[in-house]
Amino acid sequence: MTPIINFAHRGASAACPENTMAAFEKALALGATGIETDVQMTKDGKLVLIHDETLKRTTGAEGLVKDYTYAELSGLDAGSWFGEAFRGEKLPLLDELLELTSSTGTVVNIELKNGVVPYAGLEQQVIETVHRFKMSGQVVISSFNHFSLAACKQIDAEIRTGILYMEGLYNPWDYAQTVKADALHAYRLAVRPEWVAEARAHGIVYHPFTVNSEEEMKALIDAGVAGIITDHPDVLAGLLQAKGV
């Protein structure tokens, strides 16, 4: 049986400020076998890891990520909003996360934040970076922008992709094949055991998000999902160990 991937959502984001190296390193220490993160582009074309298109919530700065150079973003504090112990944490580059995980076997789920802000060339640059680290086999690219996912497959037919969606997607395994996606990154309430089985029969796997309840984790493990995205990788690691999966 293939082990279920324990994806730490934005790193160990219940214990550390999201999408920081502290969160990624903590995730590995807590037993994560996968890391989920969000990528955007700076004004000077750098691939920076941050969820919101705006900077206010996690750095206190005004404006949009796209309007800052990486040098300018590097001067921001992305940690103290979470706690004083993390003051001075920086917004990392995708390169830093891939360097951390390249030798660990960790699966990296890179979400393209290519909806509110249409970053031209984001798909190409992300895939080129993944190739540079020789991590094609360790990466799955996801997005709510399914045009972006189709573009990824046109750039590299072998790169794994996952469709992000909330609910109400009819026969998602059929839809996934229209954009040649490999996985369904469905909202946690949009997953049922019979759908997991049907998707598997079509060669498509489920990686539901964001699952923080132990009871929901257990139900999804029993349903046969291939991965679970959670803020609590330590809790999920304990359940997986107890169930021997």
- Is 51 designated active site? yes
In whole angstroms, what is the distance from residue 245 CA to residue 239 CA?
9
In whole angstroms, what is the distance from residue 241 CA to residue 64 CA?
41
What residues are paired with 54 via a beta bridge?
64
**Catalytic annotation, pick one of 9, 185, 207, 232:** 9
Long-range contacts formed by 85-92: CB under 8 A, 24+ apart: 86/16, 86/17, 86/20, 86/22, 89/17, 89/20, 89/21, 89/22, 90/20, 90/21, 91/19, 91/20, 91/48, 91/49, 91/50, 91/59, 92/19, 92/20, 92/21, 92/24, 92/48, 92/49
**Catalytic annotation, pick one of 51, 185, 207, 232:** 51
- Is 9 designated active site? yes
Long-range contacts formed by 65-74: CB under 8 A, 24+ apart: 65/40, 65/41, 65/117, 66/40, 66/41, 66/42, 66/117, 66/119, 67/43, 68/42, 68/43, 69/42, 69/43, 69/44, 70/42, 70/44, 70/46, 71/44, 72/43, 73/42, 73/48
- In 179-232, which residue ranges form alpha helices assigned H by DSSP? 193-201, 214-223
Residues known to be catalytic: 9, 51
